[in-house]
Structure 1
């Protein structure tokens, strides 16, 4: 593969960085206002994220497609290992300690890129017929979606597990599944919802739903709504952003950073931020038409678009009291390394598939022959 082929510039999707980089820059400004220490950590996370992006951008993914199932099953093994060797934090086993170090990794985060690639690999090898996947193919694909869902939900981490299952089946919906299957699924969910709530949800999960449905929102959400209202139309200066300045707003640089952004930059700033996310999602979905015959790229595009949509919708809804409070960060915006790195990996994969598509055509690489 020629990394300096001039076709790289003509095929590279410059719209993605044009929309993502302003989000990263605004986030860094907000985090730096709260804490110089957090800003230094954020800078390190950013550098690591761009290194991961670069690695996956130059990685010959199509050529190494035969390794994707192995990578998927390694991640499944890590999820299984959490129950045996996992490190418990705040009543949940979600982390594994790296031997001979004090670092921990979260297998559910590591799984996400391999989850996308596995779906892309399976669908590319067996594309949907004209009327969509029938039951046998649908069940096969569902197995690879439901397996990590149950393992992650058992940690317990129902938020991440739910995002994963929505992304998986949402992608199948876009790619094409017979409508009769969807009707059956909706009926089963409608009938079984009371049973799931009564017998399968943990007490803290029920409490989150209760807090969401209660007339009076939780303390976190109350402070978040106050911060948003304090921002007004154009926002406040750093010293006048009292909710954040006096630490009334909880976890203002991570889960509730959107409320902090609106307090600082007002309704106009919050709307601009949401516009960037909306344009990014629409742009990724619009590429379905351009890659209609390349199912590998299409699956990756739809998965990433759905990840961004769900994370953004849930996080913003949570800060204004329209959704239960769950630990779902705002992509590229919330302070933290795991989420930022994961999304940079996503876009490294996407940019590789988009930019080096000419290489696949030139060398006639076909996953079906892998």
Structure 2
């Protein structure tokens, strides 16, 4: 039985408390505090709707992070596939019964939260792949039958998310899955061949995109082609970031934000507002916090005994890096605009829930780092 293959031991309450990574908690708290002030600034210094909701979600989900951290890592191992199936089921339900907004059906109304299942899927795919590759010997990873299964597991949620439609999130899910496959040890030649195939098929893929998605790509190459339409967001974002200079204009003094030139400043473009007010120096300090966050997650993975824990930590750290890279590149005009919230900083309950859930699993890897899980 599975329970007989899990090499675990009993931990006292004080042993668990001693094993908690308090530095990781401190980093998350600091980013959370910065995010509250940033959201507060988007409402022109008024403690209003977005600020209240963001603060409430931060408190609730941070508390959830601390509580779930004490769930044994073997629980996530044993239920990895169920978690994946559950999230895929939510994606299917969303296609039929989800809330419609701006032409997309991405949310489920849970009364207390409009849940975006695709955000939770970002964590489910990491847990699922960590479980899958934990039980495969390194030499067998190159076998075609072991390559096909994770590709199918990855394509299913990506297809469902694209149907919402939400191309940006599907790309992030796909990117996270591919990174984990690479971390598991798949030969680099497969990624080279896949990359070449992607480049060749790119013109055909573009023809399948919806008009607004094509417009975003054209705007990426030339924002000035439609300065008051599709290119407006990115033009205003660049102006705001550039006007911040080295030290920034000061807290609550961002003119692009306060004069309502910057759309979506509380969600995907929160970094733009922050950069305008705190400048290059403030932006570097925020990025330093993210670097420390990623570093702590990787460090926990290095010290974990089981390959499942290692692969989850390395995969989650890579995913956070990917989210940050895509979001900042997007607001700087280095990538087309996609739905990529900045972890913890951006307003959005599902995104914060996803990140805090991932962090709780990382902390579980730290608290129960001595647990070993057999490959068989």
CA contact (8 A) 2:257 2:265 kept: yes
What's 1:123 paired with? 133
CA contact (8 A) 1:62 1:367 kept: no
CA distance in 1 between counterparts of 2:69 and 2:221 reads: 44
What's 1:106 paired with? 116
Question: Which one of 219, 225, 228 corresponds to residue 211 of structure 1?
Answer: 219
CA pair 185-250 structure 1, distance change in 2 beyond 3 A: same
CA contact (8 A) 1:254 1:335 kept: yes
CA contact (8 A) 2:91 2:118 kept: yes
Question: Which one of 173, 176, 183 corresponds to residue 182 of structure 2?
Answer: 173
* Local SS of the residue matching 2:146: helix
CA distance in 2 between counterparts of 1:160 and 1:126 reads: 28
CA pair 226-184 structure 1, distance change in 2 beyond 3 A: closer
* Local SS of the residue matching 1:96: strand
Question: Which one of 218, 224, 244 corresponds to residue 257 of structure 2?
Answer: 244
CA distance in 2 between counterparts of 1:346 and 1:173 reads: 20
CA distance in 1 between counterparts of 2:344 and 2:11 reads: 27
Question: Which one of 1, 10, 13 corresponds to residue 5 of structure 1?
Answer: 13
Question: Which one of 15, 20, 29 corresponds to residue 28 of structure 2?
Answer: 20
| Runs (5+) with no aligned partner, structure 2 | 1-8
CA pair 153-226 structure 1, distance change in 2 beyond 3 A: same
Q: CA deviation at 1:70?
A: 2.0
- 1:134-159: CA deviations, max 9, x gaps? 22211112221111111111111111
TM-score between both structures, scaled by the size of structure 1:
0.89
CA distance in 2 between counterparts of 1:127 and 1:107 reads: 32
State how many pairs are aligned.
359
What's 1:144 paired with? 153
CA distance in 2 between counterparts of 1:157 and 1:367 reads: 38
Q: CA deviation at 1:6?
A: 3.1
What's 1:316 paired with? 328
Q: CA deviation at 1:206?
A: 0.8
Map residues 356-367 of structure 1 onto 2, 5 A cutoff.
356-358=368-370, 360-361=371-372, 366=373
CA pair 39-91 structure 1, distance change in 2 beyond 3 A: same
What's 2:195 paired with? 186
CA pair 14-239 structure 1, distance change in 2 beyond 3 A: closer
CA distance in 1 between counterparts of 2:251 and 2:79 reads: 49
CA distance in 1 between counterparts of 2:197 and 2:10 reads: 51
* Local SS of the residue matching 2:13: coil
RMSD over aligned Cα atoms: 2.3
* Local SS of the residue matching 2:212: helix
Q: CA deviation at 1:4?
A: 5.0
Q: CA deviation at 1:51?
A: 2.8
CA contact (8 A) 2:126 2:176 kept: no
TM-score between both structures, scaled by the size of structure 2:
0.88
Worse overlay, 52-61 or 205-214 = 52-61
CA contact (8 A) 2:73 2:368 kept: no
Map residues 1-370 of structure 1 onto 2, 5 A cutoff.
4-33=12-41, 34=43, 35-37=46-48, 38-63=50-75, 65-98=77-110, 101=111, 104-129=114-139, 132-198=141-207, 200-214=208-222, 216=224, 218-238=231-251, 240-291=253-304, 294-358=306-370, 360-361=371-372, 366=373, 368=375
Q: CA deviation at 1:196?
A: 1.0
CA pair 225-186 structure 1, distance change in 2 beyond 3 A: closer
CA distance in 1 between counterparts of 2:25 and 2:253 reads: 32
CA distance in 2 between counterparts of 1:78 and 1:170 reads: 24
CA distance in 2 between counterparts of 1:28 and 1:103 reads: 19
CA distance in 2 between counterparts of 1:143 and 1:342 reads: 23
